[in-house]
Structure 1
Amino acid sequence: MEKVVQLIRCPRCGKSTVWQNNPDRPFCSEKCREVDLGRWANEDYSIPGPEVQPEEDNPEF
């Protein structure tokens, strides 16, 4: 029986990579995975929604 290899495109660079046994999936490499994480950390990506202002009397902010 033949194994089916599932190819995906890296969401960062677009390079084709395999899904199976890929520790960096959905990315093609550790570098692409870390660059994406850094973009989230720098707030280059965001999820749209209303801006929330912290309350003056709320000690959690």
Structure 2
Amino acid sequence: MTIAEAIKEYRKLHGLTQSDLAIRINRTIRCVRLYEAGSITPSISVLEKIFNIPFDEFITNELINKGVI
């Protein structure tokens, strides 16, 4: 799963619109759309705001899900 796919899935799973997420992370709706399209990649600090967890925990979860660790 790409970062773009993860952002979109997380947003939908939590019942957020793109506008809701934009407000939550202090970005524009256009920016959220670009994140979800994979056109731009959010910074680590923005990823932490989106997923509401420290980045290292996010990466660890992804590695576990992929069977790497």
TM-score for the superposition, normalised by structure 1? 0.27
- The structure in which a higher percent of residues are helix is 2
Structure (1 or 2) with the larger CA radius of gyration: 1
Query: Relative contact order (C-alpha < 8 Å, sep 6+): which is higher?
Result: 2
